[in-house]
Amino acid sequence: MRVARLGFDVLGVDISRTFVDLRRDASLPEIRRFVDTLGVGPLNRAVMMATFRWMLLKRAYTVDQIRRMAAEAGWRQVRIEVQAIGFEAWMRR
């Protein structure tokens, strides 16, 4: 959020940002269904599942955390659309 806040401070204009990210609360069955749609082989599938489970999910944010950070950063308009394993957030100053 520091980068998003800095963009406004430096430019001094009304700006918007879009973030697309993984949801921290995405379940393993949801992630498995997503990976299955990619059409990769068994080895790649196993590596992707391990990456999601032990690396990416730990670093992801929940939708509530994104809302809180957006408010703290001074974004006036925040719209978040939850998707299969992630979300898209549109923010405007």
pLDDT tens, the chain, 93 aa long? 555 554 555 555 668 889 899 999 999 999 999 999 999 999 999 999 999 999 999 999 999 999 999 999 989 899 999 999 999 999 988
Residue boundaries of the structural domains of the chain: 2-92
pTM of the model: 0.74
Spatial CA neighbour of 4 closest among 75, 64, 68: 75
* pLDDT recorded at residue 2: 55
Q: Sheet harboring 77-82: ordered strands across?
A: 16-22, 86-92, 77-82
pLDDT of residue 76: 87
